[in-house]
Structure 1
Amino acid sequence: MEWSDEGIILGLRRHGEANAIVELMTAEHGRHLGLVRGGASRRQAAGLQPGNGVRVVWRARLDEHLGAFALEVTAPRAARLMEHAHSAFALSHVGSLLRLLPERDPHPALHRALEAVVEHLDEARLTGMLIARLELMMLSELGFGLDLESCAATGGRNDLLYVSPKSGRAVSRDAGEPWRSQLLDLPYFLVGEVAEPPSRDDVHAAFELTGFFLARRVFEPRGLTLPDARAAMRAALLRAR
């Protein structure tokens, strides 16, 4: 068995004295692990860091085997991403989210989004927006997507400012005002393009929204809590902005 693909390194761990098991998010083969021979060596380990983009060839005798990776680093981002606390924590958080996906389950749209995210994680003004959008996409990829296109009460598509915590549907300003204290804020950048990076308040509201549904629909049913790296990332962003 053999295939080639594009991937982004999510993590690695030593395997034996000299080898490493590398975890990738690939374009066509989903989240995939493979053995890199000599991957624990100083020469190779420098390139096998989270955030780096790679060209990968996977080989195995049978499809269900772990198999071996041959990797070529095509986008060496890790060094600059690790220079900043917010981007280092963001990478860790993203890895935790992606590990919720079944291994080897293709998610090409998610891979494309991840490419755009990791390319700009060292830019503190963009990181909050990028991660919140990715969290929203992860909810959808995991089967818990929110309906943010029309008002749950009226069916209208304008002035959508809130989200119902019960249904995960958007609510317009007029329909939601009587229930304002019971609804979650919906920052515009989660549903439309913006010319400038969102404000700190909008990023906070977005993380409150995505965090609520990630906790209730994804992590808590698995007996888990939101990753510690998420809170650390948010704190680091506050210091960096």
Structure 2
Amino acid sequence: MERWQDEAIVLAARPHGEGHAIVSVLARARGHWRGHVRGGASSRQRGLWQPGNVLAVAWSARLADQLGHLTGEPVAAIAAAAMDQPWSLAILASACAVAEAALPEHEPHPLAYAGLAGLLARIGEGVSLAADYVRWEVALLAELGYGLDLSACAVTGRRDGLAYVSPRTGRAVTAEGAGAWAERLLVLPRFLRGDSAAGPGEVAAGLRLTGHFLARDVFGLAHRPVPAARLRLAERAEAEGT
């Protein structure tokens, strides 16, 4: 038998059979795993296996490459903290969907786990958490090998005045370096250049930036669509000018 125990974040739970569920989790030390949960879609257990919740889980299977079975005990009921906040719910849904779709299974991703756990611990903050969500996506891209280079201008070498990112290379560019090509570049919001707070429209710009590289380099290469929850979050930011 193959067995392990770990702290994990629930990423998705889908009904399977009569009252059961197939659940995806991101475990602190083990990474992204799926398992069958007996009764996971029942009224008694449904609340436990909500995306965003942190659980102490146990996974077991006869062989390591099988789907296996999951059991869990509550650690932090994160999902409940987001229910009354539209922005909190949108960020939670997007973060869990992106993590599930982007992270390969059965590989440790401790940085992705730590970043997601830190984000979810503050999920009740609503729209004020949106800029940190974008920062989490930037860190996720880096962990997957598609990091953006925001250290200096790709054209002039300057480290100040960075305003854009090349959609082809992921390298930052100043307004001076962009020149007539500015309209073809992705806007680099100020909050990604330092510790400043996000201004109007900057979260939407940040989501366009990370969304481009997620769609091309992460989901595109795996022939997967961008998760619907991620699209809805970007639409909300655009509509509200956030």
Check conservation: 1:54, 1:71, Cα contact below 8 A.
yes
Q: Which residue of structure 1 aligns with residue 16 of structure 2? A: 15
- What is the distance in 1 between the residues matched to 2:86 and 2:28? 27
Q: Give the superposition deviation at 1:90.
A: 2.7
Check conservation: 2:87, 2:127, Cα contact below 8 A.
no
- What is the distance in 2 between the residues matched to 1:165 and 1:139? 14
Change (3 A) 1:57 1:123: same
Q: Give the superposition deviation at 1:62.
A: 2.2
- What is the distance in 2 between the residues matched to 1:148 and 1:210? 13
Structure 2 counterpart of 1:207, one-letter code: L
Structure 2 counterpart of 1:150, one-letter code: A
Q: Which residue of structure 2 aligns with residue 54 of structure 1? A: 55
Q: Which residue of structure 2 aligns with residue 70 of structure 1? A: 71
Change (3 A) 1:21 1:181: closer
- What is the distance in 1 between the residues matched to 2:173 and 2:105? 35
Are positions 1:24 and 2:25 aligned together? yes
- Please, which runs of 5 or more residues in structure 1 have no aligned partner? none
User: Of 148, 151, 158, which residue of structure 2 is paired with 1:149?
Assistant: 151
Q: Give the superposition deviation at 1:178.
A: 4.7
- What is the distance in 1 between the residues matched to 2:241 and 2:193? 25
Within-5 A mapping of 1:103-118: 103-118=105-120
Change (3 A) 1:46 1:135: same
Aligned length in residues: 239
Q: Which residue of structure 2 aligns with residue 168 of structure 1? A: 170
Structure 2 counterpart of 1:14, one-letter code: P
Check conservation: 1:87, 1:233, Cα contact below 8 A.
no
Q: Which residue of structure 2 aligns with residue 180 of structure 1? A: 182
Are positions 1:122 and 2:124 aligned together? yes
- Stretches of 4+ aligned residues off by more than 6 angstroms: none
Check conservation: 2:204, 2:241, Cα contact below 8 A.
no
Alignment root-mean-square deviation, CA: 2.4
- What is the distance in 2 between the residues matched to 1:136 and 1:148? 11
- What is the distance in 1 between the residues matched to 2:93 and 2:111? 20
Within-5 A mapping of 1:197-212: 197-212=197-212
Q: Structure 1 residues 155-164 or 213-222, which shifts more? A: 213-222
Check conservation: 2:162, 2:188, Cα contact below 8 A.
yes
Check conservation: 2:201, 2:241, Cα contact below 8 A.
no
Q: Give the superposition deviation at 1:221.
A: 4.1
- Please, which runs of 5 or more residues in structure 2 have no aligned partner? none
SS of aligned partner of 1:46: coil
Q: Give the superposition deviation at 1:18.
A: 3.8
Check conservation: 2:146, 2:217, Cα contact below 8 A.
yes
SS of aligned partner of 2:45: helix
Structure 2 counterpart of 1:62, one-letter code: L
What TM-score comes out, normalization by structure 1 length?
0.87
Are positions 1:216 and 2:227 aligned together? no
Structure 2 counterpart of 1:76, one-letter code: A
Change (3 A) 1:85 1:178: same
Q: Give the superposition deviation at 1:224.
A: 4.3
SS of aligned partner of 2:44: helix
SS of aligned partner of 2:29: coil
Change (3 A) 1:115 1:210: same
